[in-house]
């Protein structure tokens, strides 16, 4: 299965990585004031559940590591 996003837990920060153009477009439209680390977006743990809910609610898939 090919996923749209990957989320990685690094303790004090999660990294959310769009894996295709549609996922990148969604992130650009829906995530404001982001900190980018390469292709990934740094996400504070308190926001992860809401972001994952929104991603999946819009029909995207997420790979968790």
Taking the C-alpha atoms of residue 49 and residue 21, their distance in angstroms, rounded to an integer, is 23
Instruction: Supply the pTM of this predicted model.
Output: 0.94
Domains for the chain: give ranges and CATH numbers: 5-64 (3.40.1170)
CB 17 within 8 A of CB 41: yes
pLDDT-based confidence at 60, cuts 50/70/90? very high
Taking the C-alpha atoms of residue 36 and residue 22, their distance in angstroms, rounded to an integer, is 18
* Distances, alpha carbon 18 to alpha carbons 4, 33, in Å: 6, 16
Q: What tokens appear for 39 in the block?
A: 């292709």
Q: What does the mean pLDDT of the chain come to?
A: 96
């Amino acid at each position: 299965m090919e996923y749209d996003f990957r989320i990685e837990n690094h303790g004090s920060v999660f990294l959310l990585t769009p894996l295709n153009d549609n996922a990148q477009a969604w992130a650009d439209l829906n995530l404001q004031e982001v900190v980018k680390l390469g292709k990934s977006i740094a996400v504070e743990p308190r926001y992860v559940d809401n972001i994952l809910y929104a991603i999946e609610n819009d029909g995207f898939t997420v790979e968790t590591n």
